[in-house]
C-alpha cells in the first residue's frame, strides 16, 4: 500500500460525516504531492504526505505507550490534517507566503471545518501544533500569545505531546 492509499484509508476509517468530501477536496489540491517545507523537512515532492503519516505514527505510538485517553479518530484526524494549511504554499519551488496570512493552525482548521466537524481536542491539537515556535512573541507570522498556549497546555497537556511528535518528525525523521 502506498502512502496516499494508507492516508485515505486511515481517514475513511474514522467514518466521520463529510470525510469523503474532505478526501475529494484534498485530491483536488496539491496536498498529496506538495512539499512539507521549501528547504527543511520534507522539501521534496510528497513530503507533506510523508510528514503527516510520520506524525500520525509517532503520535499514535506515544498515545498507546502512555495509555492516554484519546480516540483513534482524534489521533488520525489531528495528525493527518494538522498541516493542510500548506496546500498551495510551495508552488514551482517558491513559497507563496500569502497563504499564511490567516495563520498556520487557523488556516488548517478553517479548511478542515468546511468538510467535517472537529471535536475540541482536535481543534486544540491542530491550532497549537507549532508550540512556542509560532507564538506571536517568537514569529512574525504567530497567531497566538505564549500565555494562551501555556493556558491551553495546562488545560490539555496532550498538546505538548502532539507538538513534540511534529517536531521530532521534522528534525529527526525526515
pLDDT < 70 stretches in the chain: 36-43, 90, 92-103, 140-141, 174
- What is the maximum alpha-carbon separation in the chain? 43
Specify the pLDDT at position 87: 86
Grid cell digits, residue 102: 490567516
Q: How far is Cα 160 from Cα 150, in angstroms, rounded to an integer?
A: 10
Q: How many CA atoms lie within 13 A of 58 on its CB side?
A: 22
Query: pLDDT digit string (tens) for 98-142?
Result: 655 566 788 899 999 999 999 999 999 999 998 887 777 777 667
So what's the pLDDT on residue 58?
A: 97
Give the pLDDT confidence score for residue 126 in this predicted structure: 97
Which of 104, 113, 98 has the alpha carbon at shortest distance from 163? 104
Residue 37: per-residue pLDDT: 65
User: 3-class secondary structure for 65-110?
Assistant: HHCCCCCHHHHHHHHHHCCHHHCCCEECCEECHHHHHHCHHHHHHH
CA nearest to 41, candidates 24, 49, 158, 149:
49
What span, in angstroms and rounded, lies between the C-alpha atoms of 102 and 159?
Answer: 21
Amino acid at each position: 500500500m502506498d502512502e496516499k492509499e494508507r492516508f485515505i484509508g486511515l481517514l475513511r476509517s474514522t467514518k466521520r460525516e463529510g470525510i469523503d468530501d474532505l478526501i475529494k477536496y484534498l485530491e483536488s489540491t496539491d496536498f498529496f504531492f506538495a512539499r512539507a517545507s521549501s528547504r527543511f523537512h520534507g522539501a521534496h515532492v510528497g513530503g507533506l504526505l510523508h510528514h503527516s503519516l510520520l506524525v500520525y505514527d509517532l503520535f499514535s505510538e506515544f498515545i498507546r505507550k502512555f495509555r492516554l485517553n484519546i480516540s483513534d479518530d482524534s489521533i488520525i484526524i489531528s495528525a493527518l490534517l494538522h498541516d493542510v494549511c500548506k496546500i498551495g504554499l510551495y508552488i514551482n519551488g517558491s513559497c507563496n507566503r500569502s497563504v499564511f496570512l490567516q495563520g498556520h493552525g487557523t488556516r488548517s482548521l478553517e479548511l478542515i471545518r468546511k468538510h467535517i466537524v472537529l471535536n475540541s481536542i482536535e481543534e486544540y491539537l491542530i491550532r497549537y501544533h507549532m508550540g512556542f515556535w509560532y507564538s506571536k512573541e517568537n514569529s512574525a507570522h504567530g497567531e497566538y500569545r505564549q500565555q494562551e498556549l501555556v493556558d491551553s497546555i495546562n488545560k490539555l497537556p496532550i498538546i505538548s505531546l502532539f507538538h513534540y511528535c511534529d517536531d521530532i518528525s521534522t528534525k529527526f525523521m525526515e
